[in-house]
Structure formats: C-alpha cells, structure tokens
Amino acid sequence: MKADHRGMHGIWASRWTFILAAVGSAVGLGNIWKFPYITGEYGGGAFVLVYLICVLAVGIPVMMAEILLGRKARMSPVHTMERLTTQYKAPKLFAGIGWMGAVSGFFILSFYSVIAGWILYYVYKMATGFFTGAEGALAEATFGGLLANPLRLTVLHTLFMLLVGVVIARGIHRGLENTLRLLMPVLFVMLLVLLGYSLTTPGFEQGWDFLFRFEPEKLTTEAVIVALGHSFFTLSLGMGAIMAYGAYMPAGQPLGQTVLIVGFVDTLVALVAGLVIFPIVFTHGLEPGAGPGLMFQTLPVALGALPGGVVIGTVFFVLVLIAAWSSAISIAEPAVAWAVEKGFSRARATVFVCSLAWALGLGTVFSFNDWSQNQAFVTVTELNEAGDAVGSEFYLYAAVDDLKKAKEVTGGTYEIKGKTLFDIFDFLTTNILLPLGGVLIALFTGWFMSRSSVEDEARLASQHLFAVWRFMIRFVSPAAILLVLYNGLF
C-alpha cells in the first residue's frame, strides 16, 4: 500500500481534529461518575499517581497500536485486521480482532444509548426546576419511577440513538468532524464554568481533600487492578473505535505526542469533573457514591439546593450528555464503516447499524422492569447465622421472585444473585471482549508486524522511545491486560 493512501471514508482535516475525536471517544460516563469516586476511595493522590503510571504502561501503548493499525490499512477495523493478518502472515485468530470489536460495539451502543437516555430525561427535569429544593426521597422515587417505565425508557433510548445516527449519517467531514469540533470545546467550556462555581462552594476544600489526599495505605492489590482496568477502559480501547478513527488520521503525523495529549486530556477531564461534583455533594452534607446513584439521586438533590441550581444543574447534565453523545458516535462508527465498505450508502449503513443496536437495547430497557425478575446464571447461597456460606445452588435461568418465595418456606437465610440481560451485555463486553481485544492488538503489533513498518507508522521522536514503546507493547501491556481479564472473570 502506498504511504499516501486515503481510504474510502476520508481523512480528518488535521491532527487536532483527530485529537478532538479521540478525546470525545475517551471522555464518557466513566470519567464523570466512576473515576472521581474510585480516586477518592482508593487513596486519592496516591491512586492518581499509580493510575498515571498505568496509563503510560498500558493505555498509551495500546492506543498507539490501535491508531497505528487503523492508519496502516485505512479501512474499518474488521477489514483492517483481515488485511493485516494476511499481509504479515499472522495466525487467523488475529483477524477476529475487528469482529470482536464490532460485536462489542453493538452490545455497548445498545445499553449505552439506554443509559444516555436517562441523561436526556434529567436535562429536562433540571431545566424545568423539578429538583429545586428536592429531598433524597423525591430523587430516589424519580429515578426508580424512570427505570420502572419501559415506554419512557424506550422513547428516550430512541431519541438518543437518533442523535447518534444523524451525526454518523452525514459522514466524516459534515458529520463527525463538524459535530466534534463544536461539542468538545462546548464540553470544556461548560466544565470550566462549573469548576469556577465549585470553587465558591463551602465544600470545595473537602472535595479536594477527598480526591487528592495522599493515602498510600489504601493502595491495595485491588486498587492497583482497578487502576489498571480503568487506564485501559477509559481510552475506549479494544472495541475498534480508536482503530476506526486512526484510519482517518492524516499520514505522516507522529503518534506519540498525539496519544499523550489524548491521555492527558482524558485524565484531566475526569479529575476536573470530580472537583465539580464532590464539593457540591459535600457542601450539602451528602454521601459520595459511584455510578447511577451519584449521578441520578445524589447530585440532583445537591444541585437543586443551590442558588441558581436550575441553570447550574441543566448545564451539568448537558455536559454529561455531550460526553455520552461523543462516545456513542465513536462506538457506532466502526460498524457503519464496515457496512459502507460492503456496499451500503452512508445513510443506509447508519440506519442498519443504529436500528440493530436500538432493537438490542430494548433488552436493556426491559432488564430494569418487566424482565428484571427473569435472570440467568443465578446462584442461591445459603448463609448461617454468622453470615458465612454453607451451601449453594446454581440455575442457568430462573425467576428470582419464585426462588425467593420457595426459599422463604424453608426458614433459612439465602443470598440470591443473577444477571439480567443488561448485566450479561455489560459483563461480556467489559470483562471478556474488550480486554481480550486489547491483548490481541498488543500481541499482533508487537510480535507479528515487522519492526520497520511499525516504526515507519509510529514516527516516534527517537529510537530510544520506540524501543521503550515496543517493549511495553510486547511484554508489559499484554501482561497487565491479562491481569484485568483474569480479575474480571474470576
């Protein structure tokens, strides 16, 4: 292939456009509702230090490898890996990297769209002043009521998928490029405005202390594995999104500086988000938490109690919506690119991909209500008076309510755990497909591509830097991701 090949999809206008796109892919819900909390929970500044080391040792090398592969072939991840596997005479196993990414993307987009629909709902609720002066019971009832309403969830899921589809259908320049050039600066400005407000709150010092207090005693083995996992997942690795974006990157641009900028901005956004969220939470004497509880129950109460809370709360949820939107666009793009290469028009490819993901997303919608009691991989554990397990039963599929009623008759104490369809999608992608894809990308780039072609595509500043990166991608990154994979499974 010639060095100047442009591919059928087009090329980003500049390196900075690619950086905005990659940051948009990386900055998602995990930056806002997960990273700040795990930072405070696992040692503050000490955890941030370990996390940054993990980003440099795992995230940055694998991200470089993904971009490198995409730019080398200038095709969708599926066809990229099929072509490069043949070109470098690697085992056929590696051709499956693109397909694994496509499957992961379908699953993730399907449930990500449902969760992003919640954010649309909360933008509306904040803008109408619904949470002004609200207490915890109202916030809890509102979120519970949303999850229990499949029709409302479906409408919100549909609206968000339409937002994604409209951008993707317009192509690289009129769609992705123009939209991300607008969305990402708006996200940064909103974040800085909210940070400025957060600096004026009485809880800012406590929020800062929660995030950055240096507590090395909290750096357990679990904390290090959490840092490793987040350093991988936060950069949207293993699902083909970064590989697809790399296929549109201008030729001849050095990858090292570009990837470091993306990693730095992604981490900075997560930390600033923490400095926005936790001072507001602590100002109102609320408990910090991770996940949906923080975003949809704790924060609405805190924001509703602020002077000007309607405006501040609306800006905050619009910011979260932008983060979710930009990430979802990147998740959908690899599958759409593949469909275009198979002969679909861009518009038809988008309708095809988004419609399938939307239909799959209905499984997540019903996981929170009508199908919530019908679960797979159900384990029933009998507990003694001390709370220790004394016996267990396993069911491949069961109705949880029926099991509870059957066990209540025995008079014993039981713990019943299973997985809804949403839990299965989440587990399959997060714990298996994404880390496995990351390991295979590292191994393929480090062991099967020729040194000269990798060096030519990476364009690092010196031979020394290239040698360090190659050592990382061959040994350190695969070992670290395998640890994350093992921990997620067992």
Q: Tell me: the pLDDT tens digits for 439-468?
A: 999 999 999 999 999 999 988 888 999 999
The pLDDT value given to residue 7: 62
Q: What pLDDT, in 10s, does the model give residues 299-321?
A: 999 999 988 999 999 999 999 99
431-451: string of b/e by CB count within 10 Å (b at 16+)?
bebbbbbbbbbbbbbbebbee
CATH code for the structural domain at 15-372+421-489: 1.10.4160
How far apart CA 375 and CA 383 sit, in angstroms, is 21
Phi/psi for 380 (5° steps) reads: -110, 115
Contact 19, 248 (CB under 8 A): no
How far apart CA 331 and CA 103 sit, in angstroms, is 11
How far apart CA 101 and CA 457 sit, in angstroms, is 22
Return the domain boundaries, the chain: 15-372+421-489, 374-419
Tens of pLDDT, residue by residue, the chain (490 residues): 344 445 668 899 888 999 999 999 999 888 888 898 898 889 899 999 999 999 999 999 999 999 999 999 999 999 999 999 999 999 999 999 999 998 999 999 999 999 999 999 999 999 999 999 999 899 999 999 999 999 999 999 999 999 999 999 999 999 999 999 999 999 999 999 999 999 999 999 999 998 999 999 988 999 999 999 999 999 999 999 999 999 999 888 889 989 999 999 999 999 999 999 999 999 988 888 767 888 999 999 999 998 899 999 999 999 999 999 999 999 999 999 999 999 999 999 999 999 999 999 999 999 999 999 999 999 999 888 888 888 889 999 999 988 888 888 887 888 899 999 999 999 999 999 999 999 999 999 999 999 999 999 988 888 999 999 999 999 999 999 999 999 988 8
Dihedral (Cα; 377, 383, 388, 390), 10-degree rounding = -80
The pLDDT value given to residue 146: 97
Write the CA distances from 250 to 169, 434, 452, integer angstroms.
22, 26, 19
Look up residue 54 and give its two tokens: 């993990």
Strand 389-399 and strand 413-419: pairing? unpaired
The pLDDT value given to residue 388: 87
The pLDDT value given to residue 445: 97
Nearest to 414 by CA among 426, 405, 423: 405
The pLDDT value given to residue 2: 42
Contact 390, 384 (CB under 8 A): yes
Which phi-psi region, left, alpha or beta, contains residue 307 (left: φ > 0; alpha: ψ -120 to 50)?
beta
The pLDDT value given to residue 430: 92
